Amino acid sequence: MKKGLFITFEGADGCGKTTQMNLLKDFLVKKGYDVVVTREPGGKGLGEKIREILLNYDGEVSDRCESFLFLADRAQNIDVIINPAMEQGKIVLCDRHTDSTAAYQGYGRGLDIKQINYLNHLATAGKKPDLTLVFDIDTETSMERVGKDKDRMESVGIEFQKRVRNGYLELAKKEPERIQVIDASKSIEEIHRYVLETIQKYID
Ligand code: TYD
């Protein structure tokens, strides 16, 4: 069976990961690789419907309900997009994945990390990214980048975003092999070069 490669892009809101994911995608496609891009929440179809609720619903949402919606979307993304692409030997780039739930619902909202790890495990049926890039930048700068037009998650507040950022750094300490932290305060070109250096050994 073909192996495929699964890379996830993580970081607090406004860290610039989506720009970098798209640059990497263009690079890999030019090199002739078969690349599939997806995102969480979202992806396609039902995932986009769940995304709509998660980012725009303006009534009360409990922290646990929020977690389960992210996890439901993840299960769909794994089953419908990620695993089928991997089985065909493709490179899958995913904008946010399991570490977002650990950082936002765990470190950010304060839910139990062990439980979140277990729920993530159920949602992914045990699949793990081969590589995770965490784009790290100070919270004041990232919030400035987000600007005034904030969705439900971005509106929680600056202290929440700081906990999320620190959460990612903690996660990276726990899994240094899989999670690479990238200084996202540099220019787009510099960060792109660093991303290319980091992924090189995975595509060789
Ligand atoms: P999105 O617009 O995709 O944010 P970004 O462009 O910064 O990636 O919105 C996703 C939001 O949902 C973002 O604020 C992070 C949050 N989120 C969680 O809280 N938990 C999760 O498990 C995931 C996947 C995302």
pLDDT (tens digit per residue) in 163-176: 999 999 999 999 99
Tell how far the Cα of 88 is from the centroid of ligand 1, in angstroms: 27
Mean pLDDT in the chain? Answer: 96
Angstrom distances, CA of residue 64 to CA of 70, 96, 109, 111, 116:
10, 19, 10, 8, 10
Mean pLDDT of all residues in 43-47: 95
Torsion of CA 88, 129, 131, 185, to 10 degrees: 120
* Residue 204: per-residue pLDDT: 80
Tell which wins on pLDDT, 146 or 7.
7
pLDDT at 2 over 80: no
Q: Which atom of ligand 1 is nearest to the CA of 104?
A: 19
73, 58 Cβ separation under 8 angstroms:
no
Going by C-alpha positions, the residue among 179, 183, 202, 203 that lies closest to residue 192 is 183
Helix ranges, 150-187 (H): 158-174
Pocket test for ligand 1, best of 153, 155, 156, 158 (most atoms within 8 A of CB): 153
pLDDT at 192 over 60: yes
Bridge partners (DSSP) of residue 37 are 93
Which residue ranges form the domains of the chain, and what is each CATH number? 5-203 (3.40.50.300)
Sign of CA dihedral 29, 77, 51, 166: negative
Residue whose Cα lies nearest atom 22 of ligand 1: it is 101
CB neighbourhood size of 75 (10 A) = 14
* Residue 132: per-residue pLDDT: 98
Q: Rounded to an integer, what distance in angstroms lies between the CA atom of residue 12 and that of residue 16? A: 9
Mean pLDDT of all residues in 94-121: 97
Angstrom distances, CA of residue 153 to CA of 35, 42, 43:
29, 15, 18
Tell how far the Cα of 32 is from the centroid of ligand 1, in angstroms: 30
* Residue 1: per-residue pLDDT: 55
* Residue 3: per-residue pLDDT: 85
Q: Which atom of ligand 1 is nearest to the CA of 101?
A: 22
Q: What is the phi/psi pair of residue 36, to 5°?
A: -120, 130
Scan for tokens 């045990």, then name that residue: 126
Tell how far the Cα of 104 is from the centroid of ligand 1, in angstroms: 8
pLDDT at 46 over 60: yes
**pLDDT tens digits for range 119-159:** 999 999 999 999 999 999 999 999 999 999 999 999 999 99
Protein residues with CB under 6 Å of any ligand 1 atom: 13, 18, 40-41, 55, 70, 95-96, 100-101, 104-105, 153-154
Residue 170: Cβ-neighbour burial (10 angstroms; 0-12, 13-18, 19+) = middle
Record the pTM. 0.96
Residue whose Cα lies nearest atom 25 of ligand 1: it is 100
